[in-house]
Amino acid sequence: MSRKYFGTDGIRGTVGHAPITPDFVLRLAHAVGRVLRRSEARPTVLIGKDTRISGYMLESALESGFNSAGVDVVLLGPLPTPGVAYLTRAQRASLGVVISASHNPFADNGIKFFSAQGTKLSDAWESEVETVLEEAPVWVNSDSLGKARRLDDAAGRYIEFCKSTFANDLTLRGVKIVVDAAHGAAYHLAPMIFHELGAEVVAIGCAPDGLNINHEVGATHPQALVKAVKSSGAQFGIALDGDADRLQLVDAEGRLFNGDEILYLMVKERLSHGRSDTCNCAEESVPGVVGTLMTNMAVEIALRERGVELVRAKVGDRYVLEELEKRGWVLGGEGSGHLLALDKHTTGDGIISALQVLQACLRSGQTLSELLAEVTLFPQVLINVRLGPDQDWQTSTQLAATTRSVEQELGSQGRVLIRASGTEPLVRVMVEARSAEQAQSCAERIAETLR
């Protein structure tokens, strides 16, 4: 069943335009509250947000909608998305709600939900909410209205949780780190976490004004981090996005490492630590890893050489999570920096992922570049081809023949991925190869058959 409002990660759009308007958000919360009350007499919902100016308005609308359905609300204030997921589970709440548009500019906002277990909710649950949304509201009587209160130490609880995922026998004393919170939800706690673990912290992107979230800072604009690392002489740079579930890393030389490389490093650290402490075989430590259709082939090859299988899911951390849960694995992620370590948290967490990397460097005594010496990312070339009216690219014999020819040329040293855009009449042609020139040439040959 197709959904009208929910996308791959909640409901998102430009504030003041449907569906991100206060009247719709009130109706949405009322509908969610009615769904919750089908299985629980008096549900409790946690609400967190990032630093967008529209968060105040949408928070009030959510609070009113839930209360009108007989649902109690606990307001967390500005808190990373993974922090809301954690506290929903820790507080035994019925549901967690995040007001955030992640890495989007400040004019956008969104609503996403976590289950009582701190996990993303199913398509079936979202479809049920959309069905109730189409019904007339059912306001509860005054004596059944929900109440609202604030959890004043929400940030402190999440700080302690993040610190608990870092090895007790390690310290960041003597390590200088630049922390860029993208003027987002982690602005007040990310620098504190690394400082309390012993690091000398240089904070940038930690002065939100409601309008500057993700503006020329953070994981989507890592140039600011590179510059700050070089100028301050730091050993590491850590960049989060607006809701702090995404991570990018920079080393002392200013080299940027993406999510694919970080995922490999996390696997490598688990294998090394597992062999020395618990077992003597890679398979027992990390049986497999989930990436996406866009995960760089160099990582797949490096994992295979260590006896670790890489399974590719559709693009989106939601699909990575589904595949991990299906297989009972714990590590997965995307090149964008959404990384999952399900033995540490139920959802992707930029801060916890960064702590896992720092732990790997401290235990090994090596730099990021040294730890990733065996992984040289393949150049990726992506060409978007706009389709003509009624153009059926999937039945093109010329496209199929050219694709087969390119795949034969690349052999085991490259990869072709052709997929349709989910929002525009475009076909995306991606080619990976050992050299940028070969990748460009092969991608152009395939794209030309569609033009």
Backbone angles phi, psi at 293, to 5 degrees: -60, -20
According to DSSP, the residues that pair with 229 across neighbouring strands are: none
Identify the CATH homologous superfamily for domain 11-152: Alpha-D-Glucose-1,6-Bisphosphate, subunit A, domain 3 (3.40.120.10)
Identify the CATH homologous superfamily for domain 380-448: Alpha-D-phosphohexomutase, C-terminal domain (3.30.310.50)
> Are the CB atoms for 116 and 93 separated by under 8 Å?
yes
Fold (topology level) of 157-254 = Alpha-D-Glucose-1,6-Bisphosphate; Chain A, domain 3 (3.40.120)
Q: Which of 217, 150, 149 is nearest to 186 (CA)?
A: 217
Map out the domains of the chain as residue ranges: 11-152, 157-254, 259-371, 380-448
pLDDT digits (tens, 9 = 90+) for 80-118: 999 999 999 999 999 999 999 999 999 999 999 999 999
Q: How far is CA 59 from the centre of its chain?
A: 22
Is 11-152's fold the same as 259-371's? yes
* 302: its two tokens: 């490096």
Please confirm, yes or no, whether 102 is among the known catalytic residues. Answer: yes
Task: Output the pLDDT for position 441.
Answer: 96
DSSP for 239-302, written as a single string: EE-TTS-BEEEEETT--EE-HHHHHHHHHHHHHHHHHHHT-S-HHHH--EEEEETTS-HHHHHH
Task: Output the pLDDT for position 276.
Answer: 38
Mean pLDDT of 140-168: 97
pLDDT digits (tens, 9 = 90+) for 415-438: 999 988 766 788 999 999 999 999
pLDDT above 70 as % of the chain = 97
Question: Architecture of 259-371 per CATH?
Answer: 3-Layer(aba) Sandwich (3.40)
Could you give the CA distance from residue 342 to residue 119 in angstroms, rounded to a whole number?
Answer: 10
Task: Output the pLDDT for position 189.
Answer: 98
Tokens 């912290």 locate to: 201
Please give the sequence-ordered ranges of beta strands (E in DSSP) within 117-172, or none if there are none: 148-150
Mean pLDDT of 302-317: 93
* 135: its two tokens: 């019904």
Q: Which position among 94, 102, 115, 285 bears the catalytic label?
A: 102
Task: Output the pLDDT for position 316.
Answer: 85
Q: Which of 77, 75, 10, 24 is nearest to 50 (CA)?
A: 77
Task: Output the pLDDT for position 280.
Answer: 42
pLDDT digits (tens, 9 = 90+) for 7-31: 878 999 999 999 999 999 999 999 9
Q: Which of 94, 95, 15 is nearest to 58 (CA)?
A: 15
Instruction: Note the pTM of the prediction, 2 decimals.
Output: 0.91
Task: Output the pLDDT for position 3.
Answer: 80
Q: Which of 131, 172, 144 is nearest to 32 (CA)?
A: 131
Cis, peptide link before residue 19, omega less than 30° from 0: yes
Cα atoms in the Cβ-side hemisphere of radius 13 Å centred on 9: 22
Task: Output the pLDDT for position 422.
Answer: 67
Q: Any idea how long the chain is?
A: 451
